[in-house]
Amino acid sequence: MALPWLIGGALLGLGALLASSSDDDNSANGNGDDEERRRRERAEQARAARNKSEQRLAVQSAFREQGQASAEEFAVALQEWIEVHYRSAKPFAAVLSNDGEILKREVSVPFVIDYALGLLDSKTRKSLTDFEGFYDAQLIPCPEIYDADELITDCDDTLKEMRSYLRRLEKLRAQLQGE
């Protein structure tokens, strides 16, 4: 009678051993699954970083190309007032940094200060100073800009005289009406 109990115990022990072995395999597979998942996540992160880098390089390249393409347009737009002499074949000097900031050339003495162009409004002065930072160019004022300055000065003087005459006439009218 001990034999059936012994066989039964052996079978139960074998079953427990198999079950235990199966749990170890599952945990080993689980560790393998975790490792596989981490490997996939690292690969996805590397792909995302590559895509971001490629996009950043594409934006920086487009920025440079647009700057180069606009160089001649700016020179033509300014030609009646300011001569633009580019110092290199690729005059666009601004750079788009990796964090999206636009880095310009440092201009020691801006054109508008060097040529005392105070007659220009502040927005135009700022635009010309920015232009010098973006492009490696020498800017020289055309004579027409000084002619315009003289004309504006003459008009201001005439306007002051006219206001003075107007004040005198108003005083005379007030005197005549008072009598």
Query: Would you list the domain boundaries of the chain?
Result: 142-179
Hunting for tokens 């800009």 — which residue is that?
145
Model confidence at 19: pLDDT above 70: no
> Residue 135 in contact with residue 95, Cβ under 8 Å?
no
Report pLDDT for 23. Answer: 52
C-alpha angle with apex 33: 31 to 36, nearest 5 degrees? 110
Of 144, 94, 136, 97, the closest CA to residue 117 belongs to 144
Among 30-34, 47-51, 111-115, 173-177, which stretch is predicted with the lowest mean pLDDT?
A: 30-34
Model confidence at 89: pLDDT above 60: yes
**Buried-state track 25-56, b at ≥16 Cβ within 10 A, e below 16:** eeeeeeeeeeeeeeeeeeeeeeeeeeeeeeee
DSSP class of residue 135 equals B
Q: Which residues contact 56 (CB under 8 A, 6 or more apart)?
A: 98
C-alpha angle with apex 136: 135 to 142, nearest 5 degrees? 85
Model confidence at 47: pLDDT above 90: yes
Predicted TM-score of the model (pTM): 0.58
pLDDT band (50, 70, 90) for residue 132: very high
Q: Tell me which range, 9-13, 26-30, 171-175, is most confidently predicted by mean pLDDT.
A: 171-175
